Amino acid sequence: MTLKERVEADIKQAVLAKDKTRLQALRSIKSQILLAETEKGGGEALSQDTEMKLLTKAAKQRRESAEVFAKQNRSDLEEVELAELSVIESYLPKQLDEGELRVRLVDIIQRVGATGPSDLGKVMGVASKELAGLADGRAISNAVGALLNNTDF
């Protein structure tokens, strides 16, 4: 079952359950899928990689919006964004915790032969591809920078 089919089925369930927040998040995901399909041309099904990128982007947008609303003391809007974020995250693979991320990054650093901060770009290229959807890009970047600066991996 494609992401689009899963989302459409979940939209029907959300309508029946009268779950407005879930319905809004699901419609947003469906909208992004439809936009990506029309950009690609001809309503072709999206690859799993493209679907994960869409979901990751949507989750990042919600996370950033929630942070902005929190800084502005708009807890009502922050709660909406966080609720939508949890719906979107339910479609993403389980995120790596700090320990798992560190282990995976140490392995990548050793495979590419990185020796210090000057190899950041080389490590990030591989890490971004391998860990796409499993960890936030900012978390990956911060962890890689810390590991390369520390050099005791």
Give the closest residue to 87 by CA, choosing from 17, 5, 31, 20: 20
CATH for 3-89, among 1.10.3470.10, 1.10.1510.10, 3.30.420.40, 1.10.12.10?
1.10.1510.10
Give the closest residue to 108 by CA, choosing from 140, 86, 84, 79: 140
CA separation for the pair 87, 143 (Å, rounded): 27
- The predicted-structure confidence for 29-79, as pLDDT tens digits, reads as follows 999 988 888 886 656 677 888 888 888 889 989 999 999 999 999 999 999
- The predicted-structure confidence for 92-137, as pLDDT tens digits, reads as follows 888 888 889 999 999 999 998 888 888 888 889 899 888 877 888 8
CA distances from 3 to 29, 64, 77, 88, 121 (A): 9, 24, 27, 11, 32
Domain ranges of the chain: 3-89, 98-150
Say yes or no: domain 98-150 is CATH 1.10.10.410. Answer: yes
| Its pTM surpasses 0.85 | no
- The predicted-structure confidence for 34-45, as pLDDT tens digits, reads as follows 888 888 665 667
